[in-house]
């Protein structure tokens, strides 16, 4: 998602490249109805963004639901700015990403087609004149590597949740002023609270020992925020 031409960053090819601010900082996410999420950010994001799960080939994976219409992100305004307090880590790390290959050390990569990534003055440098990473680049490395580690922890947590069959599918609907359904989203899933409560002690303690419970409760609290999306959608349909 978003990444068009991923290249490995190097002091040989990118020593003079800089990152410059965009006129529309999050214009690249304007059409993203769903933004990938990781469990480590659930407790902070749950007060601001609805968190649901979407099916994969082996189970479900978490996303922030940012709109009720395909190709439309209600959290990016007309000026390309993010209009919620919490900014997902997936967006914060763009245009950078960690490249990982079996048998090789991870490397920091960048979307070479990101408009703000260019060999120009006036931006924020990635490397100094000696080819050493700048403080800015150091923060990028930290963010990208921490996100990759968090994504792996998320995969481990999802394996447990899928094994315990705690997901249930839901339908999210928006209606016009006359009560007519204008939007119906299907295929999303949430944690089934009844199934969670019915878990045997051993399974529940397994969730607690794995540190998954705070993320589960945060997710359940966030689901009510789909009301924000519905209200905005219904207001536009009125």
pLDDT in tens, 159-205: 999 999 999 999 887 776 677 777 788 899 999 999 999 999 999 99
Looking at residue 176, its pLDDT comes to 67
Cα angle for residues 201, 160, 38 (degrees, 5° grid): 125
pLDDT at residue 104 tops 80: no
Signed CA dihedral, 203, 207, 208, 213: sign only: negative
Question: Model pTM?
Answer: 0.91
Q: Which positions ≥6 away from 39 have C-beta within 8 Å?
A: 62, 150, 153, 154, 157, 212, 215
């Amino acid at each position: 998602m978003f990444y068009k031409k991923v290249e490995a960053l190097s002091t040989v090819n990118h020593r003079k490249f800089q990152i410059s601010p965009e006129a529309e900082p999050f214009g690249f996410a304007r059409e993203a109805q769903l933004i990938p999420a990781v469990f480590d950010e659930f407790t902070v994001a749950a007060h601001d963004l609805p968190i649901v799960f979407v099916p994969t080939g082996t189970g479900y994976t978490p996303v922030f639901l940012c709109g009720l219409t395909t190709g439309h992100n209600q959290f990016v305004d007309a000026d390309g700015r993010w209009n919620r307090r919490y900014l997902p880590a997936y967006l914060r790390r763009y245009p950078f990403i960690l490249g990982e290959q079996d048998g090789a050390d991870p490397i920091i990569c960048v979307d070479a087609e990101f408009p703000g990534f260019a060999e120009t003055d006036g931006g924020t440098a990635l490397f100094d004149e000696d080819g050493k990473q700048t403080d800015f680049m150091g923060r990028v490395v930290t963010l990208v590597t921490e996100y990759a580690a968090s994504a792996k922890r998320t995969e481990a947590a999802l394996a447990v949740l899928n094994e315990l069959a705690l997901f249930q599918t839901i339908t999210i609907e928006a209606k016009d002023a006359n009560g007519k359904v204008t939007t119906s989203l299907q295929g999303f899933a949430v944690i089934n609270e009844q199934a969670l409560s019915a878990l045997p002690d051993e399974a529940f303690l397994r969730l607690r020992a794995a540190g998954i419970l705070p993320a589960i409760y945060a997710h359940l609290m966030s689901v009510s925020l789909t009301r924000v999306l519905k209200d905005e959608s219904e207001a536009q349909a009125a």
